[in-house]
Structure 1
Amino acid sequence: MKIINYLKKIFNNLLLSTKRFPLAALAAFITTFILMIVINNNTLFSDQKIKLLIELALTTSLAFPLFLSSSLIFERFPEIKKHLIYFLIFLFLLIYHLFIFKDFELVSISRFIALNISFYLLVLLIHYFYKRKNYELYIAHIFSKFFVTIVYTVVIFIGLITILFTLDKLFELSLAKELYISSWLLAAGIFAPIFMLAGIPLFKRDFDLNDYSSVLKILILYIIMPLLTIYSLILYLYFIKIIKTQLWLESIVGQLVFWYSMLSFLVIFFIKPFRKENKWVNKFILIMPKIILPLLIMMFFALSIRINDYGLTENRYYVFLLGIWIFLVMLYYNFSQKQRNTIVVFSLAIISILAVFGPWSGFSLATKSQNQRFENILRENELLENNKIVKKPIPTTAKKEINSIIKYFTDKHSLEALNYLPTDFKKTEMEEVFGFKYQRYYSNHNNFYYRIPFKGKIFQLEDYNYLLDFQVEGSEISTSNQLENDLSLDFNLEQFKLELIKAEKVIFKQNLKNDLLQLQQKLQKSSEKDLKDLNQNYIYENEAVKMKIVFKYLSGELKSNSDLQLYRLNSFIFIQLK
């Protein structure tokens, strides 16, 4: 009987939420119905009709938070004109469907996601914006309901597919696989949103600490907060290592700090109600915003190196923008006496919109950055004549960069957005235009970037005749440094071959590949202690020359345990002529 009563209660709550939010529920029904038609009848429709139906489903899914917002506004402001709000919502949805969502490419999908984020954040603000207490308790309540909804939805879905599977096997019905997908759509598209709506409190309801989920409280206070404290210590130890050794792994630092900062913000947000009654919480809220700021600066520095080397992309733009937002929020938490998290959430909703619309959007700035990077590569390698691309032999590293830019515009935008390319250019024409074929280079975790510290370090010149501050970039196949009229030092980046030439005769030759591989492996495992003598072992000698190399900067890609590709090499080279 208890189970039946509980099921009745759930059913009544679903009916009440449908009555309370009729248009939002209708939007969920329509979206699910359209998607089910597409899934179960995809062979009956042309690709164009399927595309139109999916676009319509995305538009109606966007209607869900808008109509939900309107209902919450009417609860808080009963005197407001409903017809005007409904007209504005329908007008926006029409404009969005006809003009904003143009295709299923990066720009349209990103805007769809950003609009959803912004609209759902506004849903969370309506009942508590502006001056109303216990906003965090209200969000914690909705957050708990959200996770309960996920659990219920998964259970219902598993139940439905179990029933279908049993019927299929016992009665040999040969049910179509689309029915299983439809089961998920019914659970996630109809039950989940309506069940979640039932958990949204009425405007007049107030919250206190007794309403806070005990599970959420234990999870944050006694599991996540201690883990974050340990993680903070690890990041600071690495931060200290960077300062002392100047060894820098740019590709991973930004990601670690970014997600750590986002999680820290969420924890500070949710534990604020316990600040007065729990000393541990109060200290955490006071200290954590201060701890995060230097780490965010480190993240910005790491990100700036990546942008300087490879240009701005949408992902780097979003990380940089959200990083600035978190940085400002932490400053707000540090210096504001009356902190209002409603302002913080509202600012994030605004940033979500600004990030994808206008000349300051990620798309506009990333396109400009990659075009500028493309032009720089062309000019550095003398591939431009009268603003037209010409074919010339260029280093492998330059080919790789050009290929990566072509890939970026192909995947993210279109080749028409890339300057200097011939009209209607296609990837199959790469060899005809550039002199080499298009090749996709997949990113991996084998890239390395190491700076080795020498500040304040004194080198013994001993009997060396020359000291050369030597540098070679990835855009150069080889470089030559003139020491005297008849003496020069040459290095080939692709072959790792170092030669000292006197009077047009090679008097010294050395292949650095094996030593550079060993150095990369040492740097990967190095500590400050290891660095003391790290560069003192690279001494080469023959009957005519003695040479010592002290590496300062090393970057490249580890192809395998026995092969690597250099992007940049910087070193001191000491030369003694016998």
Structure 2
Amino acid sequence: MKWIKKLKDRLTGLTDAIARFPLTTAFLLAAAVINAYDINAEKEILTKYLLTFLVGAFLSFVFQVVYERFFSKFSTRLILMGLVALLTAGYYLIISQAPKLSMEIEIRTAVALFALLIAFIWVPVIKSDISFNKSFMIAFKSLFNSLFFSGVIFAGISIILQAINQLIFTIDYTAFPHTANIVFVLFAPMYFLSLIPVYPGAADDITKKEEAIHQKEGITKAAYCPKFLEILISYILIPLIAVFTLILVIYIIKNVGGEFWKDNLLEPMLVSYAITVILVYILASEIENKFAIFFRKIFPKLLVPIVLFQITSSILSLEETGVTHTRYYVILFGIYAAAAGSLLSFISVRKNGIIAAMLIVFAAVSIVPPVDAFTISRTSQINTLQTVLEKNNMLENNKIKPNASISEKDKKSITNAVYYLTMMQYAKKIEWLPDDFEAYKDFYNTFGFYEYQEPVKSNQPVFLSLEQSAPINIKGYDTFVQIDFYMNDKNKDESICEIEKDGKKYNLLRDNNKDQIILRLVGENEQELISFKTQEIYDKFYNYNSQMKGVITAEEATFTKENNRAKMAIVVQNVNIEKFNDQQYNNALVFVFVEIK
């Protein structure tokens, strides 16, 4: 039966892949074991080991195709495997020095793994009769098939486990992540590798002619573009890209004199556009129809000016924001896309491997000091912060002097730089920042103002709460009470509580005016001692962005009023501000502390 033969072929392919990539198999098996341990522990205890084994797996399958393409001796293969083991151990020694995995380590590793994947596709066809386009198509189809079958297998096993759990006996919930671990960490990569054929290499000189012909036929078959994919690329993706390109060109022409240079939201859109154009170009390189030929002739030339405009826009924005690793990658990829578009406009389709080599070089540049994304972004952000502080006389003798009177632009620059340096774990390396500096807690005390908040859209609601376990200073106050403020309260001069001190009685009143609530403390003769207008709360928090910041510190939440008769402190527990065009509906829950002098 055909399905039995296909199943047998797949199993044979898997066993062949294990024999072909033994070190990769060992690394993936180790990664699955480490991941299983973390699943059972319900903590990410061994993440560094997991990352190390994944790096080893990628290195080992790249070095295997290097061996197949350029070498034939078994001793050379052993040497290359030893080199992989050394590089993997070196990677672990580097990341083990960090207390924990940082965003920098994760991004560097992700970029390195991406470069290794491109190398895995490109190396087997270096100076070969087989084009990079065929190798890329094989890898693309293999990746899709491995993910599809892995997803089906995982879904099927999950359904079976769920049925057993509901109908027969209870299954531990970790069974599902363990299943995902085996399927996606172990099976999926090995199935992907089993679909990658052995390309012609140095061993061809000793290979029989019949075997060589059979090998090339297998590669041609594996690189065949299915009719479904051809239709998808030629008659759906290419027309959609053409329409989107037309929209981009019209937008650039209309806004080139102004908005385009300030619209940073276009950056991810244009990066995605450039990736799509290059990817579709490579996939369409083996398709011979009018749509594909037209796309290959025109779109690389259109890509270059569009990307150049975006590079210029991104560079101009650096003056205000400084370099971050994301902006670095946007600009670097823009340069790559412009160079790739230029090359694709003139070189033959068979030489597309050049852009793969370029991509590997660009990726290496972005992670290898001293011109990598993180060294440059760290230096840029520290210099930006230092420049703004010195401009406002806030940095003297390597110490920061708080200053609340600086411009909103400078507050924004300081806030962005400080939070970026904190996020990337660079703040502790700055000698003029306190050793125990934590941006979330120490920002106001260090700089003299609260973090800059981008104005929100007029109708965006604000929901803020006092951070949990925030200490509140109650020293010196006679009493406190919790109060709700609602704009639809109708009562006037409502008594909240009565306070007695030194034989005298005082009343804390809530006066509900038309537009706001006023807290008033009055004596026995109805003489007002002190008052507080609750609109101050809503005015302060009106422009806060709840999506960026959902909690407020005790300092931000505290409002104080004092005169020679009394002192009142209002500490906001939570505040809600609903905005509907020109109307505003507010409510808040607060603590009110009272001291009578």
Asked if 1 retains the 8 angstrom alpha-carbon contact of 2:27 and 2:54, the reply is: yes
TM-aligned CA deviation for residue 72 of structure 1: 2.2
Q: Are positions 1:167 and 2:159 aligned together?
A: no
Counterpart position of 2:84: 89
Q: Are positions 1:121 and 2:136 aligned together?
A: no
TM-aligned CA deviation for residue 218 of structure 1: 1.5
Moved over 6 A (4+): 442-446
Q: Are positions 1:272 and 2:285 aligned together?
A: yes
Counterpart position of 1:429: 442
- Please give the secondary structure, in 1, of the residue aligned with 2:87: helix
Q: TM-score, normalised by structure 1?
A: 0.71
Counterpart position of 1:257: 270
Instruction: Output the amino acid matched with 1:167.
Output: I
Q: Are positions 1:313 and 2:310 aligned together?
A: no
Asked if 1 retains the 8 angstrom alpha-carbon contact of 2:48 and 2:95, the reply is: no
Q: How does 1:145-160 map to 2 (within 5 A)?
A: 145-160=142-157
TM-aligned CA deviation for residue 562 of structure 1: 6.0
Asked if 1 retains the 8 angstrom alpha-carbon contact of 2:25 and 2:57, the reply is: yes
Alpha-carbon distance change, 368 to 339 in structure 1, aligned in 2, over 3 angstroms: farther
Q: Are positions 1:184 and 2:196 aligned together?
A: no
Alpha-carbon distance change, 360 to 247 in structure 1, aligned in 2, over 3 angstroms: closer
Counterpart position of 2:361: 350
Instruction: Output the amino acid matched with 1:172.
Output: F
Counterpart position of 1:328: 339
Distance across 1 between alignment mates of 2:323 and 2:261: 20
Unaligned runs of 5+ residues in structure 2 are 201-214, 459-578, 584-597
Instruction: Output the amino acid matched with 1:143.
Output: F
Distance across 2 between alignment mates of 1:419 and 1:235: 46
Distance across 1 between alignment mates of 2:2 and 2:377: 58
Counterpart position of 1:363: 374
Summarize deviations over 1:310-360 as a string: whole Å, max 9, x none: 111000001111110111111112234576222211221122122012010
TM-aligned CA deviation for residue 54 of structure 1: 1.9
Counterpart position of 1:341: 352
Counterpart position of 2:303: 292
Counterpart position of 1:74: 67
Q: How does 1:223-262 map to 2 (within 5 A)?
A: 223-243=236-256, 248-262=261-275
Distance across 1 between alignment mates of 2:282 and 2:62: 22
Distance across 2 between alignment mates of 1:159 and 1:107: 37
Summarize deviations over 1:493-536 as a string: whole Å, max 9, x none: xxxxxxxxxxxxxxxxxxxxxxxxxxxxxxxxxxxxxxxxxxxx
Distance across 1 between alignment mates of 2:423 and 2:457: 21
Asked if 2 retains the 8 angstrom alpha-carbon contact of 1:250 and 1:306, the reply is: no
Asked if 1 retains the 8 angstrom alpha-carbon contact of 2:261 and 2:316, the reply is: no
- Please give the secondary structure, in 2, of the residue aligned with 1:39: helix
Alpha-carbon distance change, 146 to 443 in structure 1, aligned in 2, over 3 angstroms: farther
Summarize deviations over 1:450-491 as a string: whole Å, max 9, x none: xxxxxxxxxxxxxxxxxxxxxxxxxxxxxxxxxxxxxxxxxx
CA RMSD of aligned residues (A): 2.6
Distance across 2 between alignment mates of 1:245 and 1:409: 31
Counterpart position of 2:193: 197
Instruction: Output the amino acid matched with 1:78.
Output: S
Instruction: Output the amino acid matched with 2:179.
Output: S
TM-aligned CA deviation for residue 443 of structure 1: 9.7
Counterpart position of 2:491: none
Distance across 2 between alignment mates of 1:445 and 1:344: 43
Distance across 2 between alignment mates of 1:186 and 1:208: 32
Counterpart position of 1:464: none
Asked if 2 retains the 8 angstrom alpha-carbon contact of 1:144 and 1:216, the reply is: no
Distance across 2 between alignment mates of 1:421 and 1:56: 33
TM-aligned CA deviation for residue 261 of structure 1: 1.1
Counterpart position of 2:540: none
Larger Rg: 2
- Please give the secondary structure, in 1, of the residue aligned with 2:124: coil
Asked if 1 retains the 8 angstrom alpha-carbon contact of 2:122 and 2:357, the reply is: yes
TM-aligned CA deviation for residue 425 of structure 1: 2.7
Counterpart position of 1:408: 420
Counterpart position of 1:99: 94
Counterpart position of 1:534: none
Asked if 2 retains the 8 angstrom alpha-carbon contact of 1:141 and 1:213, the reply is: no
Aligned with residue 127 of structure 2, among 123, 126, 130: 130
- Please give the secondary structure, in 2, of the residue aligned with 1:393: coil
Asked if 1 retains the 8 angstrom alpha-carbon contact of 2:131 and 2:351, the reply is: no
Summarize deviations over 1:403-439 as a string: whole Å, max 9, x none: 22221111112312346323443333333322234x4
Asked if 2 retains the 8 angstrom alpha-carbon contact of 1:392 and 1:435, the reply is: yes
Asked if 1 retains the 8 angstrom alpha-carbon contact of 2:52 and 2:88, the reply is: yes
Asked if 2 retains the 8 angstrom alpha-carbon contact of 1:332 and 1:339, the reply is: no
TM-aligned CA deviation for residue 191 of structure 1: 1.4
Distance across 1 between alignment mates of 2:433 and 2:13: 60
Alpha-carbon distance change, 292 to 388 in structure 1, aligned in 2, over 3 angstroms: same
Instruction: Output the amino acid matched with 1:145.
Output: S
TM-aligned CA deviation for residue 262 of structure 1: 1.2
Counterpart position of 1:281: 292
Distance across 1 between alignment mates of 2:457 and 2:377: 23
Asked if 2 retains the 8 angstrom alpha-carbon contact of 1:69 and 1:122, the reply is: yes
Alpha-carbon distance change, 2 to 134 in structure 1, aligned in 2, over 3 angstroms: same
Alpha-carbon distance change, 442 to 12 in structure 1, aligned in 2, over 3 angstroms: farther
Summarize deviations over 1:31-55 as a string: whole Å, max 9, x none: 111101211134xxxx7xx53x221
Distance across 1 between alignment mates of 2:190 and 2:350: 33
Distance across 2 between alignment mates of 1:57 and 1:359: 27
Distance across 2 between alignment mates of 1:167 and 1:15: 31
Alpha-carbon distance change, 98 to 273 in structure 1, aligned in 2, over 3 angstroms: same
TM-aligned CA deviation for residue 560 of structure 1: 9.0
TM-aligned CA deviation for residue 385 of structure 1: 3.0
- Please give the secondary structure, in 2, of the residue aligned with 1:104: coil
Paired residues, what number?
440
Distance across 1 between alignment mates of 2:376 and 2:89: 28
Distance across 1 between alignment mates of 2:114 and 2:454: 30
Alpha-carbon distance change, 335 to 560 in structure 1, aligned in 2, over 3 angstroms: farther
Instruction: Output the amino acid matched with 1:15.
Output: T
Alpha-carbon distance change, 222 to 444 in structure 1, aligned in 2, over 3 angstroms: farther
Q: Are positions 1:390 and 2:401 aligned together?
A: yes
- Please give the secondary structure, in 2, of the residue aligned with 1:259: helix
Unaligned runs of 5+ residues in structure 1 are 447-558, 564-578
Alpha-carbon distance change, 379 to 222 in structure 1, aligned in 2, over 3 angstroms: same
- Please give the secondary structure, in 1, of the residue aligned with 2:282: helix
Bigger relative contact order, structure 1 or 2 (CA pairs below 8 A, ≥6 apart):
1
Asked if 2 retains the 8 angstrom alpha-carbon contact of 1:31 and 1:60, the reply is: yes
Distance across 1 between alignment mates of 2:137 and 2:260: 41
TM-aligned CA deviation for residue 66 of structure 1: 1.8
Aligned with residue 63 of structure 1, among 56, 69, 76: 56
Asked if 1 retains the 8 angstrom alpha-carbon contact of 2:131 and 2:350, the reply is: no
Counterpart position of 2:387: 376
Q: How does 1:208-223 map to 2 (within 5 A)?
A: 208=220, 211-223=224-236
Higher mean displacement: 121-130 or 425-434: 425-434
